[in-house]
């Protein structure tokens, strides 16, 4: 598919949704060459990598899935609220198209009644362009990716994904390309972040989800299978589909490797665990991958060179959490990971257990359990001091100190926050009217 260029002028109940993680680090940049974002193998950079004539300010974007808005806050302690962006300025046009197409309407309503929990999923993931003038966002219910001009609030371009739902994205280390999962067509599209032009694509397992660009020129995609069915007992695991990690060349888009965690979990003595890889994060040197799986209160450590699971961390359960797995969010129990810049600490969002905690990577011992209302995502503050989680059940984001494991601050945001990403806006930026 090609991008469509456009003219420029709570409910407290147990929720089901999609999710996953990557931390983002960048520096406040000034006029002249913009430095690349964090070059670690997480591919979790801000959108740097081009020459700018305008000073940029590093900020944090919070996607409010059910509002169709993105809150912009400061990326470091203080976390000042700077404004809000409407990422569905074309909502009426999109709804008209959907309601006039019976097939699209069926999928649209299916998303609303299923993973949307009665709500439309209007924003999932987002990154800024290298010059900080546009926000690029995926919109699951509209099955597209759009570029929003940060000065005017208007669409610069729109790319309809294959299938009927867009999902998680990732930005390349130089900030020029964005990968997006088309979760209902089992494909990842890679786009030019400035123009929306498709550069290539590759096939994945069932329901592609998280994407990570790595420093060695690869894209890692995690497919999670059918997480919104009621067949959640271990004996029904075989019904969940083809779940695997697909590794593709970031330039040619050829698949270079697939990794099925089933035999690797079995070899580690955990045949009881699902092999649906959820949020994942690499160490700074790319040697280890840490990932969460469906239904599990913990995470696994995978040695990349050795192609083996080396350790598994089991974290505390909340005694008030129902053990009925059909009540858990899209087969999640814990959902959200980020890593401190030194690689010494891992921040974990214990989604269904209503807490977040910082884990020591050397010992896998957890720190204090910080109460949180269905924490959905975890990222890293701009200065690397804090883990920032989205509390989807409380409509706020919360910062937790990596060093102490204690809560630093909570900032109110919009309805049902999900992804939190670091990016840039022009220095002195104010949100567009309306």
Coil/strand/helix, residue 64: strand
**pLDDT band with cut points at 50, 70 and 90 for residue 3:** low
Helix (H) or strand (E) holding 186: none
**pLDDT band with cut points at 50, 70 and 90 for residue 1:** low
Dist CA 303 CA 13 (whole Å): 37
CA 281 → CA 15, 43, 117, 155, 345, distances in Å?
24, 9, 28, 32, 12
Dist CA 281 CA 343 (whole Å): 10
Dist CA 61 CA 419 (whole Å): 8
**What pTM was estimated for this model as a whole?**
0.87
Does the pLDDT value for residue 10 go beyond 90?
Answer: no
> Tell me, what's the pLDDT at 331?
87
Does the pLDDT value for residue 431 go beyond 50?
Answer: yes
- Range 17-426 classified under CATH 1.10.10.60: no
> Tell me, what's the pLDDT at 218?
98
Does the pLDDT value for residue 207 go beyond 80?
Answer: yes
137-160 pLDDT per residue, tens: 999 999 999 999 999 999 999 999
Does the pLDDT value for residue 14 go beyond 50?
Answer: no
14 with 327: CB under 8 angstroms? yes
Q: Looking at residues 303-332, what average pLDDT do you find?
A: 94
363-414 pLDDT per residue, tens: 999 999 999 999 999 999 999 999 999 999 999 999 999 999 999 999 999 9
User: Which structure tokens are listed for 168?
Assistant: 């998680």
82-123 pLDDT per residue, tens: 999 999 999 999 999 999 999 999 999 998 888 877 899 999
Does the pLDDT value for residue 48 go beyond 90?
Answer: no
Nearest CA among 86, 72, 167 for reference residue 433:
86
Please give the DSSP secondary-structure letter assigned to residue 366. B
Does the pLDDT value for residue 307 go beyond 90?
Answer: yes
Please give the DSSP secondary-structure letter assigned to residue 50. S
Burial class (CB in 10 A: 0-12, 13-18, 19+), 219: buried
Does the pLDDT value for residue 54 go beyond 80?
Answer: no
> Tell me, what's the pLDDT at 239?
87
Percent of the chain with pLDDT over 70: 88
> Tell me, what's the pLDDT at 9?
34
Task: Indicate the angle between helix axes 91-99 and 102-113, nearest 10 degrees.
Answer: 110
226-262 pLDDT per residue, tens: 888 788 888 888 888 999 999 999 999 999 999 999 9
124 with 107: CB under 8 angstroms? no
Coil/strand/helix, residue 229: coil
Does the pLDDT value for residue 51 go beyond 60?
Answer: no
Nearest CA among 26, 82, 14, 118 for reference residue 421:
26
Q: Looking at residues 51-55, what average pLDDT do you find?
A: 63
> Tell me, what's the pLDDT at 28?
30
Please give the DSSP secondary-structure letter assigned to residue 396. E
Burial class (CB in 10 A: 0-12, 13-18, 19+), 235: exposed
Helix (H) or strand (E) holding 102: helix 102-113
Choice among 42-56, 171-185, 355-369, 383-397 with the minimum mean pLDDT: 42-56
Q: Which residues are bridge partners to 311 per DSSP?
A: 301
Q: Where are the domains of the chain?
A: 17-426
Does the pLDDT value for residue 295 go beyond 50?
Answer: yes
> Tell me, what's the pLDDT at 256?
98
Backbone phi, psi, residue 303, to 5°: -85, 115
Dist CA 210 CA 50 (whole Å): 25
Backbone phi, psi, residue 96, to 5°: -60, -45
């Amino acid at each position: 598919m090609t991008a469509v260029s456009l003219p420029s002028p709570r409910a407290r109940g147990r929720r089901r949704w999609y999710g996953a993680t990557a931390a983002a680090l960048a520096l406040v940049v000034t006029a002249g060459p913009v430095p690349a974002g964090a070059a670690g193998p997480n591919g979790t950079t801000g959108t740097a990598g081009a020459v700018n004539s305008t000073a940029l300010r590093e900020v944090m974007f919070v996607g409010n899935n059910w509002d169709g808005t993105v809150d912009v806050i400061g990326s470091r302690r203080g976390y000042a609220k700077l404004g809000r962006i409407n990422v569905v300025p074309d909502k009426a046009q999109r709804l008209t198209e959907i309601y006039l197409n019976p097939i699209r309407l069926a999928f649209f309503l299916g998303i609303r009644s299923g993973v949307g929990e009665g709500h439309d999923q209007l924003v999932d993931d987002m990154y800024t362009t290298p010059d900080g003038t546009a926000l690029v966002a995926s919109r699951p219910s509209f099955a597209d990716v759009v570029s929003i001009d940060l000065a005017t609030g208007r669409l610069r371009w729109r790319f309809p994904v294959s299938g009927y739902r867009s999902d998680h994205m990732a930005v390349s280390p130089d900030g020029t390309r964005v990968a997006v999962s088309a979760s209902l067509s089992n494909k990842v599209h890679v786009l030019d972040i400035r123009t929306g032009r498709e550069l290539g694509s590759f096939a994945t397992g069932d329901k592609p989800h998280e994407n990570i660009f790595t420093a060695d020129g690869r894209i890692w995609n995690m497919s999670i299978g059918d997480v919104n069915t009621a067949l959640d007992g271990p004996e029904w695991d075989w019904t969940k589909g083809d779940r695997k990690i697909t590794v593709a060349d970031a330039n040619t888009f050829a698949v270079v490797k697939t990794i099925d965690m089933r035999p690797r979990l079995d070899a580690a003595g955990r045949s009881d665990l699902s092999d649906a890889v959820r949020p994942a994060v690499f160490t700074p040197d790319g040697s280890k991958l840490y990932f969460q799986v469906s239904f599990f209160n913990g995470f696994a450590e995978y040695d990349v060179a050795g192609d083996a699971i080396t350790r598994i961390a089991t974290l505390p359960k909340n005694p008030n959490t129902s053990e009925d797995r059909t009540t858990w969010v899209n087969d999640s129990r814990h959902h959200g990971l980020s890593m401190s810049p030194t690689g010494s600490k891992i921040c974990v969002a214990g989604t269904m257990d209503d807490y977040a905690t910082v884990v020591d990577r050397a010992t896998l011992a957890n720190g204090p359990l910080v109460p949180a209302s269905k924490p959905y995502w975890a990222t890293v503050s701009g200065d690397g001091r804090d883990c920032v989680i989205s509390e989807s059940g409380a409509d706020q984001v919360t910062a937790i100190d990596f060093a102490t494991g204690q809560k630093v601050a909570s900032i109110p945001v919009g309805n049902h926050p999900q992804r939190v990403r670091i990016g840039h806006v022009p220095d002195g930026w104010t949100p567009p009217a309306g």
